[in-house]
Structure 1
Amino acid sequence: MKDIGNKIRMLRVNSSKKQRHLAEALGISIPAYSKIETGITDINTARLIEIANYFNVRPALFFEDTEETKKIEEERRLCDAQLRKMETVVTELQEKLIVTLQENNLLYKKVAN
Structure 2
Amino acid sequence: MIISEITKLIENKFDISINKDGANYSRFVSHIQYLLKRIGSKEKIKSENKELYMTMKNSHPDTSDCVDSISEYLFELFKWRLSIEEKLYLILHINRLCSREDCYQ
TM-score range normalised by the length of the shorter chain: under 0.3
Q: Which of 1 and 2 has higher RCO (CA within 8 Å, sep 6+)?
A: 2
Higher helix share: 1
TM-score, with structure 2 as normaliser: 0.28
